[in-house]
Amino acid sequence: MDRFRIEGGRRLEGTVRISGAKNAALPAMAAALLTAEPVHLTNIPRVRDIITMGKLLAHMNARVSTPDVPPIDLTIEAPAICEAEAPYELVRTMRASILTLGPVLSRLGRARVSLPGGCAIGARPVDLHIKALAQMGAEITTEHGYVNARAPGGRLRGAHIVFEKITVTGTENLLMAAALAEGETRLDNAAREPEVADLVGLLRKMGAQIEGDGTATLRVRGVERLHGATHTIIPDRIETGTFVVAGAITGGDIEITGCAPEHLAAILAKLRETNVVVLEEAPGRLRVRGAKKLLAADVTTEEYPGFATDMQAQFMALMTQARGTSVITETIFENRFLHASEMLRMGADITVEGRRAVVRGPTPLQGTGVIASDLRASASLVLAGLVASGETIVDRVYHIDRGYERIEEKLNALGARVERVR
């Protein structure tokens, strides 16, 4: 298992380029199952979850090309998908495998996907995906850890679905299912994340009829068949936010290119509240300068366009260095503070009570051995390591490799010292 050895205390300077968004690329890959024609995707990030999704699609008989040089251009061709089963061995390493359920069911009229199970940040059920597909006429049973779904007559029918709770992959699954269904589907209380809008963009290029992207109501008029398309994945807003914090926490001065600042308005507004200087120098380009005096700010995670839960851990790392008390409230996942206890071991002053963490700062952090529990928690520990005195060892960096492309190389190019120890 790889670990990172980080020598802290170095100010970051220079330019970093952002990769494509993992959470937009995964549904885009699943969408390729909806058509027999090739789907070309560009700006795919070279991260582990993409490799897992590629394996899953290949298992379903799709042809997946993966040239070596980043940014990956990927072509997926699924002339005939077979056996339509997403096995547990693949699903357990990546919950986003559930994204194959909607497209396979609507293309084949049947699907079998392993239930994802919980993960470190919460129980993460998929009941809302299942309920909504049942409303479209699917007969669904869950047995022996698998979801078995069948569309009577081979085709799903349009329905009016009101999500009880906003779900990102749930909205994406239903969009894909509805694209080939008979009649019109209306999705209310749909997720408004930029990754959902990116999927709508791709589906539309494939011939889908969808209205309302970017709003909480999506209308899909089902078509008989979809065709191939070429699509460029949007930049990763969470990788962007993570590098903004890296610049800020080290008191650095960095430029971030290839990003979409309009997708992280709430995150940038919050960072500006703490006195971090973030300038939009040109379209797709941010300049970040550390604050002269970093101030504490409270934050509550929310669905888009609110402050993303995927940036909560990184913001907590920053708040350990801010003057004052910061109250961080996590509303999306029930157990997303595992990084706090690792930061405590580094010398942070954090109290966690239920869904609220109180961070008192600034406290000098000291390097030590810490364990990454999930993707974003690992990123926050790397950020803490950048500002800690001495050496920080972050264990289980396979979590970070799931969603950040060569993070150590990108940080080192900015002057950090992060070594991957195998």
* Residue 421 main-chain phi, psi, to 5 deg: -110, 120
The CA distance from 39 to 51, in Å, is: 17
CB of 95 to ligand EPU, least distance (A): 6
The CA distance from 395 to 146, in Å, is: 32
Would you say 208 or 332 has its CB closer to ligand EPU? 332
3-state SS assignment for residue 360: strand
Give, in order, the Cα–Cα distances in Å from 364 to each of 39, 242, 326, 379: 50, 20, 16, 19
Q: Is 305 in the site for ligand EPU (CB under 6 A)?
A: no
* Residue 342 main-chain phi, psi, to 5 deg: -70, -40
| Out of 26, 41, 233, 328, the residue judged to bind ligand EPU by CB under 6 A | 26
Binding track over 192-221 against ligand EPU, x by CB under 6 A: ---x--------------------------
Q: Give alpha helix (H) positions in 60-108.
A: 88-91, 101-108
| Out of 403, 410, 416, 418, the residue judged to bind ligand EPU by CB under 6 A | 403
CB of 304 to ligand EPU, least distance (A): 7
End-to-end CA distance of the chain: 6
Residue with tokens 């899909």: 220
Selecting among 36, 90, 119, 279, the annotated active-site residue is: 119
CA atoms within 13 Å, Cβ hemisphere of 166? 18
CB of 172 to ligand EPU, least distance (A): 7
CB of 282 to ligand EPU, least distance (A): 27
CB of 117 to ligand EPU, least distance (A): 12
The CA distance from 150 to 341, in Å, is: 45
| Out of 47, 50, 96, 136, the residue judged to bind ligand EPU by CB under 6 A | 96
Reply yes or no on whether 82 is catalytic: no
3-state SS assignment for residue 180: coil
Which 339-398 positions form the footprint of ligand EPU (CB under 6 A)?
375-376
| Stretch in the footprint of ligand EPU (CB under 6 A) among 152-160, 168-176, 282-290, 386-394 | 168-176
CA atoms within 13 Å, Cβ hemisphere of 228? 13
Q: Is 23 in the site for ligand EPU (CB under 6 A)?
A: yes
List of residues contacting ligand EPU (CB under 6 A): 23, 26, 95-96, 122, 124-129, 165, 167-170, 195, 309-310, 332-333, 375-376, 403
